[in-house]
Amino acid sequence: MDFDIKAVEVAIENANKAIGSKAENAEVLAKKAFDQAEKLIGELTETKSKFDSNKTELDSLRKQLNDLSAEMSKPKFAKGAEMKSWEEEIAEQYAKEGPEMLKNAENRTPQNTPIVFALKSSPYSQKAAVTIGLDTTVEAVGSASQYTITENTGIISAIRQRVLAYLNNVAVGSIAKEYALWMEEVDEQGTPIFIGEGDAKTAISVRYEERNKKAKKIAVSAKVSMELMEDLPQLISYIQTNMMKRVDTATENQLFNGNDTGDNLAGLVPYATAFTGGDMAGTLDPLTVNDWDVILGVISQVKKANGVANALFIANGKLDAMRAAKTTEGQYIRPEGVLIDAQGQITAWGIRLIGTNALPSNGSVDFVGGDLTSVNVRFRKGMSVQIGESGDDFINNLKTILVEQRLVQFVSANDTPVIVKGTFTAAKALLDTTT
């Protein structure tokens, strides 16, 4: 039995050597060795019940024979032969035999008999097999997409817009008509005095005058596809995070800096009074005056104008620098009366310090605020969203989205002294004793 198993192994080895040599008669030699091995395994199988101890060796021989059969089924090429593509083979045969093929084609019967090119290789015969996996299929270079292995998380990364802070810190309301009207007291007459029993009472008077501001509109439109309309969450996200947010940001820019001409709002900065420092003007040592002293100067100025300061908008970069300021010994400069809560909100001597990127980028104003209860914003029409068709939307499978709002801002002339603006550099110069 051991001799027969050895003979099978030798036959399989000879077959593999014949295939590996790529000799011209490789297929004949391999076939002969394969037939011999197959015959011997067949004989051994018939007697395997008598030799149970050799079952493992017999199973191993069968596997080797199967592997040999698979190897023999692959396309073989003569040793040293040049491997050509099927396109090259057709071109080569046509160059050599083209006229004869055409002549035979004219005489062929029936007339639809095809012209035959004998190919030694198929369009796929020269491509080596690869392990099938994501990297060789849907993830491979040139693959159209990876949809089959992709799941939409629903996350939409919106373009970053400024954090809005204005409307939360001023007086906001609504109006039902186009103009906002208020009354201003002007031209006080008479002086109240203490009098004795029976003395004539002092006459006083004041004149009331009407003032008004017209509501201004801000509106934008956008074209969206029906596909986006059908995907409601993404449509809502687009309206909220892009259209509405951009409208709100542009509105806040106007609330701070609008010049009150044409269709522009009247902005807070133009309304504000320049920093003077109030009763602190010219009272501080120029060697020690700092940015925190400017906050005290604003409070003093508002107080002198008979107001109560409650909030101050400060350019973000400047406010960050104030928080990070240190002494020469590396200790943070944080005066008593300056508090920072767990959310990073700052109050200084009772007024809120609100960081913003909305102040002019040219640095002409670092801060503006004071008694913000005197700043009035009234909405004629709050934010509205309309979806409809415009122009050729119907034939293009589009919809038009309109987002708009109408509002007005005003500060009475009696209240502008309690709104203060300036830069920290100029304000510190006004506070020191050399002014």
pLDDT of residue 4: 64
Tokens of 266: 């009247």
Does 46 score more than 80 pLDDT? no
Tokens of 421: 């603006």
pLDDT-based confidence at 24, cuts 50/70/90?
Answer: low
What would you report as the CA-atom Rg of the chain, rounded to the nearest whole angstrom? Answer: 46
Q: Assess contact for 357 and 162: CB atoms under 8 A.
A: yes
Mean pLDDT value across residues 231-239 = 84
Mean residue pLDDT across the chain: 83
* pLDDT for residue 80: 46
Q: How confident is the model at residue 75 (pLDDT cuts 50, 70, 90)?
A: low
pLDDT at position 355: 94
Q: What topology does CATH give the domain 167-176+215-431?
A: hypothetical protein PF0899 fold (3.30.2320)
Question: What pLDDT is stored for residue 354 in this prediction?
Answer: 96
Residue 241 CA to residue 407 CA, distance in Å, equals 21
Q: Is the pLDDT of residue 302 over 80?
A: yes
Q: Model's pTM, two decimal places?
A: 0.66
User: What are the backbone dihedrals phi and psi of residue 226, each rounded to the nearest 5 degrees, phi first?
Assistant: -65, -30
The pLDDT assigned to 141 comes to: 67
pLDDT beyond 70 at 70: no
Cα–Cα distance list, 417 to 177, 184, 277, 356 (Å): 29, 14, 12, 22
Q: For the segment 182-194, what is each residue's pLDDT rounded down to a tens digit?
A: 999 998 899 998 9
Residue located via tokens 């670092």: 366
CB 417 within 8 A of CB 273: yes
- Please check the confidence at residue 162 and state whether its pLDDT lies above 90: no
Write the CA distances from 425 to 1, 339, 359, 365, 366, integer angstroms.
106, 23, 16, 10, 9
- For the chain, domain boundaries: 2-72, 86-148, 167-176+215-431
Arithmetic mean of pLDDT, 239-259? 92
Cβ of 409: how many Cβ atoms within 10 Å?
26
Edge to edge, the sheet with strand 346-348 lists 273-274, 419-422, 367-370, 311-315, 351-356, 346-348, 338-340
For residues 184 and 186, give the distance between their C-alpha atoms in angstroms, rounded to a whole number: 6
Mean pLDDT (whole number) for 394-406: 92
